[in-house]
Amino acid sequence: MSTQEIANAFFGLCAEGKFEEAGRAYWSSDIVSIEAVDGPMAKVTGREAVEAKGAWWYASHEIHSIKVEGPYVNGNQFTVRFTMDVTPKDGQRLTMDEHGLYTVSDGKIVEERFFYGSHLAA
Amino acid sequence: MSTQEIANAFFGLCAEGKFEEAGRAYWSSDIVSIEAVDGPMAKVTGREAVEAKGAWWYASHEIHSIKVEGPYVNGNQFTVRFTMDVTPKDGQRLTMDEHGLYTVSDGKIVEERFFYGSHLAA
């Protein structure tokens, strides 16, 4: 599959709300997941640990809606925009606006890197 | 300046429509500009050549409006979304939906990489 085909398939599952299925289908066993935070979630390596991070996130947030836009492709990478209306279990309802940057190798996603939006006026 | 500060300043100029000023202010002299295309525009290196590419683009398109969203930051990189309503000089009016991925080093943008949106339903 080309990067465009993987991007389309991964995005299609996300667009149906099937985020965990998307990861299971397209993450490499050596997937590296990088967040723009300090601490233990900053860089998580390996499918098992990344799935556990996802499980933690879903358990820690009430999800009202997630909008996905894309995918955007260049070479062996693609991006997806996520706009998430969520309430952290210990916090206030908020909108999270992120770009995910995915790197593909041998038909699998080997790295995902998340960029957090600043919501500047434009 | 931190990556967040450079991202904010670069984005602020773009949000005012000052794209060329944004490049002049924040591109490294060794800037590398990467498009998701084949041919001579695929990878352009150096400020002079990248400015010439920009000049070609502005001369080749009638711009009706450009919307910018962001910036989104992770580590030494940031992304911006551009939604452009343009008419190529030899073509039909269209909407171009792109993500720009910018890599910062020593306070300057050393690489810009553009991802093209597929406009899949979401």
Domains of chain A as residue ranges with CATH: 3-116 (3.10.450.50)
B120 pLDDT higher than 90:
no
pTM for the structure as a whole: 0.88
Long-range contact pairs involving A82-87 (C-beta distance under 8 Å, separation at least 24): A82/A14, A86/A61, A86/A62, A87/A61, A87/A62
Q: Is A71 on the interface with B (CB under 8 A)?
A: yes
A122 pLDDT higher than 60:
no
B121 pLDDT higher than 70:
no
A121 pLDDT higher than 60:
no
Neighbours of B34 (CB within 10 A): 18
| Average pLDDT value over all residues in chain A | 93
A41 pLDDT higher than 90:
no
Q: What is the mean pLDDT of residues B11-39?
A: 94
Output the pLDDT for position B31.
97
A120 pLDDT higher than 80:
no
B104 pLDDT higher than 90:
yes
- Stretch 18-47 of chain B: residues touching chain A, C-beta under 8 Å: 34-36
When pLDDT is cut at 50, 70 and 90, the band that residue A33 belongs to is very high
Half-sphere exposure of A44 (CA within 13 A, CB side): 20
Output the pLDDT for position B34.
96
| Chain A residues close to B84, C-beta within 8 Å | none
| ipTM exceeds 0.90 | no
A13 DSSP assignment: H
CB pair distance less than 8 Å for B11 and A113:
no
CB pair distance less than 8 Å for A120 and B74:
no
B122 pLDDT higher than 80:
no
Looking only at Cα atoms, what is the longest distance across chain B?
A: 42
- Residue of A6, A10, A118, A119 for testing the chain B interface, max B β-carbons within 10 Å: A118
**Per-residue tokens: B102:** 């910018």
Cis peptide leading into residue A71 (ω within 30°): yes
Instruction: Give SS3 for A24.
Output: helix
Cis peptide leading into residue A40 (ω within 30°): no
